[in-house]
């Protein structure tokens, strides 16, 4: 029967609102946490936190919505941010910011 019959079906989703949030989508906000800080958020239920790697390869693990204080000398800073899940860590995304 394979390949000889087409089975019709209803649409599985009518809009993007019916789908699970993108696991790789990271929202970034700026807050005051004893100085300027970034807050990362992910809407997907499997996202448990974030792995932040500095240019010197040091890492920081953050919980969802935990602030990351922007510290260091004036100038351009480069980080990578990756979503952590119970099943592993996703590919890191670059983040650049400037302190003046």
pLDDT per position as a tens digit, 21-35: 788 889 999 999 888
User: Does residue 71 lie within any of the structural domains?
Assistant: yes
Is residue 68 within 8 Å of residue 54, measured between CB atoms? no
Residue ranges making up the domain that contains 91: 21-99
Q: Is residue 47 part of a domain?
A: yes
Assigned domain for 73 exists:
yes
Phi, psi of 18 (to 5 degrees): -85, -5
Cα distances (angstroms) measured from residue 66 to each of 7, 46, 63, 76, 98: 48, 17, 5, 22, 21
Using pLDDT thresholds of 50, 70 and 90, give the confidence band for residue 85: very high
Total domain count for the chain?
A: 1
Between 39 and 24, residue with greater pLDDT? 39
- Decide if 12 is inside a domain: no
Whole-number Å distance between alpha carbons of 29 and 12: 33
Q: What is the CATH number of the domain that holds 75?
A: 2.60.40.10
Q: Is residue 58 part of a domain?
A: yes
Look-up: residue for tokens 């599985």? 12
Q: What is the mean pLDDT of residues 66-74?
A: 87
Task: Let me know: does 38 contact 70? Beta carbons within 8 Å.
Answer: yes
């Amino acid at each position: 029967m394979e390949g000889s019959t087409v089975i019709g079906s209803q649409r599985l989703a009518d809009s993007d609102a019916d789908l699970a949030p993108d696991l790789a989508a990271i929202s970034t906000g700026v807050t005051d946490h004893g100085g300027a800080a970034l807050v990362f958020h992910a809407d997907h239920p499997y996202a448990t936190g974030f792995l932040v790697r500095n240019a010197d390869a040091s890492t920081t693990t953050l919980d969802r919505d935990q602030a990351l204080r922007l510290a260091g000398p004036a100038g351009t800073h480069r980080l990578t941010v990756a979503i952590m899940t119970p099943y592993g860590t996703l590919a890191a995304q670059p983040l650049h910011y400037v302190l003046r």
